[in-house]
Amino acid sequence: MYDVGFMIGHFEPLHLGHVRSVLHACGQVKTLYLFITPHPKPNPNFKINLKDKARWLTNAFADLPFVHVVLLPDVVTPTYEDDHSGLKADNANAILSDILQRFDFLTVNGQKPILFVDETHPLANLNLVTPILTTPRQTEFNSTKIHNNPALYWQSIHPHARPNYTKLITIVGGESSGKTTLLHKLANYYGASFSLEMGRIFVETDLGGTELGMQYSDYPLMASDHEQALRQAKEKATAPLTLVDTDFVTTQAFCEVYEGKTHPFLTACIDEFRMDYTIMLASNTEWVADGMRSLGQTEQRKSFENRLKSIFARHQIEPYFIDNPNYHERFLQTVRLIDKLIFKDYQE
């Protein structure tokens, strides 16, 4: 067994092929360092930084104390699938020599560390300043395809990286517009995780099932519960979309209706915890009283819908509007929209 080894990669996203290569490498050295570099062609649909990737790797190997993560923000290397015809030993050695000089912990007892590369990578055939060992080619994992279209390769992405690659889709609308039923249909259709409407749960758990005692100071509490539910749903994401029943805009709208004023805490939540996509349901379905709904008149429903639109505009949010009054057609219309947004807007 060798003392020290290292690997250099983009790990964007971290997928099971990466992990298998790391496991092969760390079985041959006492200490393995994983150097994370920026991706040369970032996917514009996702905002991923080096610390996101550091979090994935440190969590993935938290129980393997001999695996360490290092950030290498100023080195950009091509992807495996790029054209490497111009790759020369001089270029690679310049990068490796700089790394050895900057990170002296790589050299132990005067011995240079082992560089691990894929067995089919062009670096494996070059004469480098560090000794090389190869890891088996993970043929079932194409890093470029996974990077370009993570939704289609969801099962290949490591669980710790999935929260950064699931899109938050919130379903909003007035009372009795079918939000919750639609959310449960979509969650089953896509096998997606979801968070429920925290305002309704707050009324049930803290106010005895009636809004009679609700007051201005309750709205931040509901919003805090909502943010926590969002984070939990995203952390356990089971699909490239995570569904959200209602949003902070809706809570703000109810606050303005019942309290007559905007709440600054909700304003901050709307701006800080942005959804990726907002789907707004028209209030043109039959109104059903359930004991907790109070805005059932046609004028009230239309007024609340317009208030939602006004708050969305105030925060530069453009919702997708679903206006079919038939529940099943509304579901099908939403599925077509989500398929386009999540699964068809990326390049292979």
DSSP string computed for 255-271: HHHHHSS--HHHHHHHH
Sheet with 167-173, strands from edge to edge, namely: 194-195, 241-245, 167-173, 277-281, 320-322
The whole-number pLDDT of residue 348 equals 47
3-class SS at 32? strand
The whole-number pLDDT of residue 294 equals 56
Identify the burial level of 83 via C-beta atoms within 10 angstroms of its C-beta, where 0-12 means exposed, 13-18 middle and 19 or more buried: exposed
- Distance, in Å, from the CA atom of 58 to the CA atom of 49, rounded to the nearest integer, reads 15
The whole-number pLDDT of residue 195 equals 93
Query: What distance lies between CA 40 and its chain's CA centroid?
Result: 20
Could you give the C-alpha distances from 23 to 20, 78, 129, 135, 231, in angstroms and in order?
5, 23, 24, 9, 30
Q: Do the beta carbons of residue 301 and residue 261 sit within 8 Å?
A: no
Mean pLDDT by 10 residues, the chain (348 residues): 94 97 96 96 95 98 97 84 64 91 92 94 87 94 94 96 97 85 96 88 76 85 93 96 95 92 96 96 70 59 91 97 92 95 68
- Distance, in Å, from the CA atom of 133 to the CA atom of 118, rounded to the nearest integer, reads 9
The whole-number pLDDT of residue 70 equals 97
Could you give the C-alpha distances from 276 to 223, 318, 342, 344, in angstroms and in order?
18, 11, 10, 16
Write down the pTM of the prediction: 0.88
Name the strand (E) or helix (H) holding 5.
strand 2-9
Could you give the C-alpha distances from 337 to 61, 90, 250, 279, in angstroms and in order?
38, 50, 21, 9
Dihedral sign of CA atoms 46, 52, 54, 58 in order: negative
Within 8 A by CB and 6+ apart from 55, the residues are 160
- Distance, in Å, from the CA atom of 220 to the CA atom of 201, rounded to the nearest integer, reads 14
The whole-number pLDDT of residue 320 equals 97
Q: Which domains does the chain have, with CATH numbers?
A: 2-153 (3.40.50.620), 166-343 (3.40.50.300)
3-class SS at 62? coil
- Distance, in Å, from the CA atom of 116 to the CA atom of 130, rounded to the nearest integer, reads 10
The whole-number pLDDT of residue 344 equals 76
